[in-house]
Amino acid sequence: MASPAPAAAPKRRGMLNALGLHRPELRAWAMYDWAASAFQTTIMVAVFPIYFISVAGSGDAAGASQWWGYANSLSIAIVALMSPVLGAIADYSGGKKRFLGVFTGIGIAAVAGMWFIHQGDLLLAAALYLVASIAASASFVFYESLLPHIASEEEVDRVSTAGYAFGYVGGGVLLAVNLAWIQKPNLFGMPAGTFPARLSFVSVAIWWLLFSIPLFRGVREPARGIEADETATASPARMAFVRLGETFRELRGYKNAFLFLVAFLLYNDGIATIQKMAAPYATELGIPQAVTIGAILLVQFVGIPFAFAFGALAGRIGAKRSILLGLALYAGISIFGFFIGSLPQGERARAFIILALMVGTVQGGTQALSRSLFSTMIPRHKSGEFFGFYSVFSKFAGIFGPLLFAFMIGQTGSGRHGILSVIGFFIVGGTLLLFVDPVAGERAAREAEAAVRLVPADDQGG
């Protein structure tokens, strides 16, 4: 009887191609999202914030919340100031992977240090979280700047959505394990108290370290791009500021990329507001904490197939139209969230789970395609610099939405009108996105690359 193996291999390659994972370097790149997303789920969203308030800030919940706000705001400000500069230095010096390695190492060390946070260690907790948050955000600048170097224009949407899907898997799996041993430590032979939570922090550091290895081994450092008026031996720091100045003077040449960033700032503000305010809104509605945590996990796992689905959809109708579809669905989510508050108390938990399902269908795909669309409209030799700007706009998204949310609560006494008001960000951001011309943006980026001399980077071996 003949073996089916020969036919199975092309079928497997066809599936990997459809998912954007058909080459080893693409799979290696996507694994970093798997690795670092554990920081976002366990440290930023689910476990560490509760530990920060209830343990590190024990006895002063209001003061701990204040420190938590300070740490988040300061990290945003620092990343905003340094990302474009460090990105430009990495571009000129050919050191994207080196910078990625440095910030990954700093982030891992800071998260591992959270093991030593005990009751009342508020300053230590704030300092470690600040360092880890800055390092994680900076590492993503250099991780994302590698995207246009490893994926062609035809591949980039699928590859970007594959990265988000991997992030959902990695972050979701470890968070599920962490929550299991925190809630039922005896089943894992662990002592009660702070041990399970502190062990979850160490597990994030180990997870981040182990699953970062494929990228460093399997993705090559891109060649340096030296412009006509530059030399290959100038000071990287000086050249970084020269390039930043040139970029600001040449904004008209990259008008579609920067118009996209403004649109992204607005509609991503709406997305970030829904992410940040979902748990407080659920609490206001009287939804049990277990249901809220379960909904966070649900978003993670629902997001996996739908991230891939958005990549496939972009292949048919384009990334821009796919994003616009996602924004329309987000507007529907806001409306649905508003009406949950009018339901009887007994029906709200089920409706909130449905809301989580809806968010999971669009969250990863919309953000992944935003990343890939932007990557096609920037010159590759300046990808670190431009993704530094992308990081700035991404970090500042979520500032105005919560403020509007809070204002509406103050005016109406209810979060229902706050979540409804978020629709404005999707409408305005989506309207600006309509004026972005991806073809013209890509053409401008390729024209800028035409005058660039490529110099092999020092590290070509991974």
DSSP 253-305: GGHHHHHHHHHHHHHHHHHHHHHHHHHHHHHHTT--HHHHHHHHHHHHHHHHH
- 58: its two tokens: 């024990």
Q: What is the pLDDT of residue 333?
A: 93
Residue 127 lies in a domain: yes
Q: Is 287 a residue whose pLDDT tops 70?
A: yes
> Residue 44 domain-assigned?
yes
- Residue 110 in any domain: the answer is yes
123 falls within a domain: yes
Q: Are 143 and 219 in contact (CB under 8 A)?
A: no
Is 225 part of a structural domain of the chain?
no
Confidence (pLDDT) at 7: 53
pLDDT band of 3, cuts 50, 70, 90: very low
Residue 462 is predicted with a pLDDT of 40
The CATH number assigned to the domain holding 424 equals: 1.20.1250.20
Q: Give the CA distances from residue 446 to residues 236, 378, 388, in Å, rounded to whole numbers and listed in that order.
A: 24, 8, 19
Decide if pLDDT at 459 tops 50.
Answer: no
> What pLDDT sits at residue 320?
97
Q: Is residue 10 part of a domain?
A: no
CA distances from 304 to 138, 168, 170, 191, 299 (A): 24, 6, 10, 34, 9
Average pLDDT, rounded, for the chain: 88
For the chain, how many structural domains are there in total? 1
Give me the count of residues in the chain: 462
Q: Is residue 288 part of a domain?
A: yes
pLDDT (tens digit per residue) in 42-89? 998 788 988 998 899 887 777 887 888 788 878 888 988 899 999 999
Residue 235 pLDDT? 86
The number of angstroms, rounded, from the C-alpha of 126 to the middle of its chain's C-alpha atoms is 22
In this structure, are residues 265 and 397 in contact, taking their beta carbons and an 8 Å threshold? yes
Which tokens hold the place of 452? Answer: 């660039």
CB contact at 8 A, 295 and 354: no
| β-strand partners of 224 | 455
User: Residues 128-149: pLDDT tens digits?
Assistant: 999 999 999 999 999 999 999 9
362-383 tens-digit pLDDT? 988 999 999 999 999 999 989 9
Which residues contact residue 44 at a Cβ distance below 8 angstroms, ignoring those fewer than 6 apart? 133
- The confidence score (pLDDT) of residue 414 equals 67
Question: What is residue 10's predicted lDDT score, i.e. its pLDDT?
Answer: 63
What's residue 449's pLDDT? 87
Angle formed by the axes of helices 61-93 and 236-249, nearest 10°: 100
Does position 398 have pLDDT exceeding 70, yes or no? no
Confidence of residue 2 (pLDDT cuts 50, 70, 90): very low
pLDDT above 90 for 397 = no
Q: How confident is the model at residue 19 (pLDDT cuts 50, 70, 90)?
A: confident
Joined together, the tokens standing for residue 11 give 């079928």
Q: Is the pLDDT of residue 299 over 50?
A: yes
pLDDT bucket at 36, cuts 50 / 70 / 90 = very high
Instruction: Convert the pLDDT of each residue in 164-195 to its tens digit.
Output: 999 999 999 999 999 999 989 999 999 989 99
pTM for the model stands at 0.85
pLDDT tens column, 100-113 = 999 999 999 999 99
Q: State which H helix or E strand residue 453 sits in.
A: strand 453-455
pLDDT surpassing 60 at residue 4: no
Residue 343 has pLDDT above 50, yes or no: yes
Structural domain boundaries enclosing 55: 23-211+237-455
Question: Does 139 map to a domain?
Answer: yes
Statement: residue 1 has pLDDT above 60: no
